[in-house]
Amino acid sequence: MIGIILKKYQYRIKFFIKIIGKITIMLIFIKQQCEKYHIDWKFIKFLFVGGLNTAFGYGIFALFIFLKLHYSTALFLSTAAGILFNFKTTGTIVFKNNDNRLIFRFFAAYGIIYGINLLGLKLFKIINFNMYGAGFVLLFPMAVVSFILMKKFVFITRT
């Protein structure tokens, strides 16, 4: 039975294995470059996990919209689910920490990130800067602030 299934899907399995191999090679190369240029490997993982978290959050939002929920309800529920998902992925993958008691610090960090981001947008608004551009300009600095808060306040690693 398993042989029949493997034979039926052998090309998909080979393709999947090839993709996993290429991703692994890419990650090894990136890690080597981080070591070479003294870049914190956790920060790179943080950015990759951020992409995963964004896809998850948007996917949940789109699912709720598809299910005909009001956009404000869809946004609230997807944000809540996204924060919980983000807490687990960031904690586990980036900082190797599974302590669920840190969720309150995680929410506090998100409150700080929100406030700083809001202040940045307000400053751009004062100088009549386009809000789409302002949001884009703030993406990387906010990722850095977020990483620092996660590393130094939420998932504290003692070395």
CA dist., res. 123 & res. 11, Å (int)? 54
For residues 58 and 35, membership in a common domain is answered with no
Q: Based on the domain organization, do 13 and 58 belong to the same domain?
A: no
Residue 50: what residue type? Answer: G
Residues 34 and 57 reside in one and the same domain: no
pLDDT at 105 over 90: yes
Distance (Å, whole) CA 148 – CA 145:
5
The boundaries of the domain holding residue 104 are 40-154
Give the confidence band of 158 by pLDDT, cuts at 50, 70, 90: low
Residue percentage of the chain with pLDDT more than 70: 95
**What's the pLDDT score for residue 88?**
95
User: 52 and 96 share a domain?
Assistant: yes
Are 34 and 59 in the same domain? no
Q: How confident is the model at residue 1 (pLDDT cuts 50, 70, 90)?
A: low
- Identify whether residues 87 and 144 lie together within a single domain: yes
Indicate whether 103 pLDDT > 90.
Answer: yes
> Residue 81 corresponds to which tokens in the numbers above?
């689910």
pTM equals 0.72
Assigned domain for 159 exists: no
Domain count, the chain: 2
Residue 30, pLDDT score? 86
Between CA 45 and CA 30 the distance in angstroms is 10
Tell me, yes or no, whether 29 and 52 share the same domain: no
Interval 12-23 mean pLDDT: 81
